[in-house]
Amino acid sequence: MYQDCKKKGICLLSMLTVLAISVESAWAEGAGNAKSVFDECQRIGNKLGSVSVQQCLKAGMKDTGARSVNGQALLLKEYPPLLKRRQPLGRVLLIGGTHGDEYAATSIVFKWMKILDTYHSGLFHWHVAPLINPDGLLQRHSLRLNAHGIDLNRNMPTPNWHEETSAYWKKTGHDPRRYPGIDPLSEPESQWLYDEIRIFKPHAIVSVHAPYGVLDFDGPPVGPDHLGHLHLKLIGIYPGSLGNFAGVQHRIPVITVELPYAGIMPSRQQTSKMWTDLVHWLRYNIPKQETLAAYPLFEPIHKRMLSEQIPLHEGLN
Ligand SMILES: [Zn+2]
């Protein structure tokens, strides 16, 4: 009897200990996430002239749990469906800061989040990640590439990736600013993007760059003629680019906004006009079934890696 009670006591004690540890680790995890958002907002606010630390914190982004090469958090803000009011017309993924030296491409996404904070009506279900290459931007001399020196917009898994990126790399005269890496999805940032698309299943993707001052479009149906002062001009298809991967291969519309300057923000009026035009285009043109047909073809990354035959890669050494 005594032995039983003792055992029960020990059991109870162990259970309480386990419970305490789980609560503590859950708390630590939550606190860690809040801390990573706080720390990154300090760095973003100190780096970008158009985004203050306060504005970044106020945006209410969450830590996705994914990390850059240097361990910085990839942050995302969700504007969910407001079910009681209306069913969203579709899911839209909006990303900025793929290239770390295109400052305006992150700043403008913060401005658009501010508009969404006020006006999100549930028309679309948004996932917004203003800075998918934090290592590129958040350093003394910001760089286009990630911390491994790889162009994330050449690292997406497009068909015949090895052959085509190799040929492209030669064509650019081995331009280090366009280095695609040794394998598709070799980078944690591009892996995160691939998984985000696979899991969120957006009906359209909007990706912001600079400084070509145009609008590019890949995929169905036909892109917007203009967003604010930016006009549609198809600037070509590159092996390993997001437009090629999602738009051309998977038929998910990708709107690439190329702002006119990397270091100067469009005016407040242009920023808001671009947004209004974007929402208008999405409202009347966002495809449905056609896009969703793509997603069964997406495999989890570890499966992709296992099934991929990686040939000897000439020309990228
Ligand atoms: Zn770019």
Phi and psi of 144, rounded to 5°?
A: -60, -40
pLDDT exceeds 70 at position 104: yes
Omega before 211 within 30 of 0, i.e. cis? yes
> What is the Å distance from ligand 1's center to 201 Cα?
23
**Residue 129's pLDDT band (boundaries 50, 70, 90)?**
very high
Higher pLDDT, 153 or 23: 153
311 Cα–ligand 1 center, Å: 28
Residue type, 160: N
**Is residue 317 pLDDT above 50, yes or no?**
no
pLDDT band with cut points at 50, 70 and 90 for residue 293: confident
Q: Tell me the pLDDT band of 4, cut-offs 50, 70 and 90.
A: very low
pLDDT in tens, 15-67: 444 444 443 443 344 445 889 999 999 999 999 999 999 999 999 999 999 99
Residues in the chain: 317
Q: Which domains does the chain have, with CATH numbers?
A: 2-307 (3.40.630.10)
Cα(240) to ligand 1 centroid in Å equals: 13
| Cα of 145 from ligand 1 centre, angstroms | 10
Predicted local distance difference test score (pLDDT) of residue 27: 39
pLDDT of residue 152 exceeding 90, the answer is yes
Distance 105 CA to ligand 1 centre (A): 8
Give distance in angstroms: CA of 130 to centre of ligand 1.
13
What is the distance in A from the centroid of ligand 1 to the CA of 316? 21
> Token pair 């386990």 is at which residue?
18
pLDDT at 289 over 80: no
86 has pLDDT over 60: yes
Give mean pLDDT, residues 115-129: 95
Instruction: Quote the ligand 1 centre to 84 CA distance (angstroms).
Output: 38
pTM (two decimals)? 0.85
Q: Look at residue 79 and tell me whether its pLDDT is greater than 50.
A: yes
Q: What is the mean pLDDT of the chain?
A: 87
> How far apart are the CA of 119 and the centre of ligand 1, in A?
28
- pLDDT band at 282, cuts 50/70/90? very high
Question: How far apart are alpha carbons 68 and 150 in whole angstroms?
Answer: 12
What average pLDDT score do residues 121-127 get?
94
Distance 36 CA to ligand 1 centre (A): 25
Distance 15 CA to ligand 1 centre (A): 53
Q: pLDDT for 196-242, tens place per residue? A: 999 999 999 999 999 999 999 998 888 999 999 999 999 888 999 99
Q: How far is the CA of 269 from the centre of ligand 1 (A)?
A: 23
For residue 108, the CA-to-ligand 1 centroid distance in Å is 14
Give the integer Cα–Cα distance in Å for 108 and 114: 10
Give me ligand 1 centre to Cα 89, in Å: 28
For residues 90-105, average pLDDT: 97
Ligand 1 centroid vs 237 CA: distance in angstroms? 14
pLDDT score, position 235: 85
Q: Is 11's pLDDT higher than 70?
A: no
How much distance in Å is there from the Cα of 76 to the middle of ligand 1?
Answer: 19
Task: Please give the average per-residue pLDDT across 108-132, as a whole number.
Answer: 96
Residue 280 or 25, more confident: 280
Q: Ligand 1 center to residue 98 CA distance, Å?
A: 6
The string of DSSP codes covering 200-219 is H--SEEEEEE-SS-EEEEES
User: For the residues 75-97, what does the mean pLDDT come to?
Assistant: 91
C-alpha 309 – ligand 1 centre gap (Å): 29
Q: Report the Cα–Cα distance between both ends of the chain, in Å, rounded.
A: 73
Tell me what pLDDT residue 308 has.
56
Q: Which residues contact 251 (CB under 8 A, 6 or more apart)?
A: 219, 220, 290, 291, 293, 294
Measured in Å, residue 97 CA sits from the centre of ligand 1 at 8
- The continuous run of DSSP H or E covering 4 comes out as helix 2-47
Share of the chain above pLDDT 90, in %: 73
